[in-house]
Amino acid sequence: MNRSKSHIPGWLAFALSVAFVLSSVAVIIFAYLTFQVVMKRPLNPVESDAVAVADVDLQLEQAGPAAAPTVSVGMPTPTLFPTHEPWEGTDRVNILLMGIDRRPGEAFISRTDSMMVASIDPETETISILSVPRDLYVSIPGRGRDRINTAFVYGSAGNSPEGGASLAMQTVAYNLGVPVDHYVMVDFSAVIRGIDILGGIDVYVPQPLNDPTYPDMNYGYDPLYIPAGTQHLDGELALKYARTRHVDNDFGRASRQQQVILAARDKAVSMGVGSLLTKAPSLYQQVESGIKTDLSLELLIALARMVSEIPEENIRNEVLDYNYVSSYRTETGAQVLVLNNATAAPLIQELFYGE
């Protein structure tokens, strides 16, 4: 691919990328729906509990072997720094979707309190999505052991979101055995405005959802209630539905997040790429500042053509829940999760290696 020969207007290029995003299962622009409820924590990532734990646990890592239990059972071992050849349309593509805890006017550097790996396989015409819990205690290359959602902050030292994305990709590859080819990062504004431009989404709520302590933007409360049944959600309500965790736990929330992503995909596919393109200028103006990615225009177009034809029954979404992780308390007292390779390895083989 020769990117230098592309002379496409900025808004049209963005529109094409959005067409891919909204017509594929990943619905990358809405991946931020998976971010963790962090409204009660400091906005400055270097002041967060997670990074504070990182500083202490890094010292422990340097002083001796990590205390976290591990199970060595056949986890894949990809190259830590993969090289990317031009995509020929036949190889599997893995994309790390990250939700950034960023408020309007803030830099694009904070914790990735949502992380998903979306895998598109042209050969089998399948798509897999795996949600990774923010509290997963992992080895971060060059940093020791810490929660996986701090990798982006470490890599962003020097105000470099691209560096943060790179370290986050390396961390996922190193610990899960999943080679990561590309990344997409989104924030609050892209989620809400993007869904609103779609005209909202329809979601089936299996049981009434009541969260009297749902946090608002000013560190207060904005009580949330959504009745059972099929509900039409605008951008703001869809974000709340995906964010709330007090009605169950982080794993239940992860399932709702994937539910919202698939609902957005269904809505976008039903609208068609042509309809999305007519909304392109408005969409570009409203959400451009809330998205960062290393996906090229050529790759976006190629993926859009392919994934829009993948049937819904060929989409598999999973969460690394307590079937695959265990609770663990570090020597510093931090409550985290550790991966159980004995159960996680077979799942990862199925999702990302087709075995």
Q: What is the pLDDT along the chain (355 residues), one digit of tens a residue?
A: 444 444 434 444 444 444 444 444 333 333 333 332 222 232 233 333 333 333 333 333 333 333 344 433 455 554 444 445 666 778 899 999 888 766 556 666 677 878 889 999 999 999 999 999 989 999 999 999 999 999 999 998 877 888 999 999 999 999 999 999 999 887 766 778 778 888 999 999 999 999 998 877 676 788 999 999 999 999 999 988 887 877 777 777 777 877 887 788 778 778 765 666 566 566 666 666 677 888 876 777 677 667 777 888 898 989 999 999 999 999 899 999 999 999 999 999 999 998 6
Gap between the Cα atoms of 266 and 245, Å rounded: 24
Give the 3-state DSSP-derived string for 297-324, with helices as H, strands as E and coil as C. HHHHHHHHHHHCCCCHHHEEEEECCCCC
Within a domain: 167: yes
Burial 74-112 (b: 16+ CB within 10 A, else e): ebeebeeeeeeeebeeeebbbbbbbbbbbeeeeebbbbb
Structural domain contains residue 106: yes
CATH code for position 290: 3.40.630.190
Report the Cα 94 to chain-centroid distance in Å: 12
For residue 20, the enclosing domain spans 9-199+250-353
Kindly state whether residue 229 falls inside one of the protein's structural domains: no
DSSP state of 108: S
Assess if residue 210 is contained within a domain: no
In Å, how far from its chain's centre is CA 200? Answer: 20
| 56 contacts 66 by C-beta, under 8 angstroms | no
Calpha distance 30→18 (Å, rounded): 10
Residue at 180 is within a domain? yes
Q: How many domains does the chain have?
A: 1
Cα 193 → chain centroid: 18
Both structure tokens of 167:
């370290």
Angle at 116 between CA 107 and CA 78, to 5 degrees: 105
Q: How far apart are CA 38 and CA 217, in angstroms?
A: 11
Q: Is 1 inside any structural domain?
A: no
Cα(30)–Cα(129) distance, integer angstroms = 14
Distance CA 174, CA 202 (A): 37
Residue 223: inside a domain, yes or no? no
Whether 211 is in a domain gets the answer no
Q: How many angstroms separate the CA atoms of 329 and 68, rounded?
A: 8
The SS3 of residue 228 is: coil
Query: Rg of the Cα trace of the chain?
Result: 19
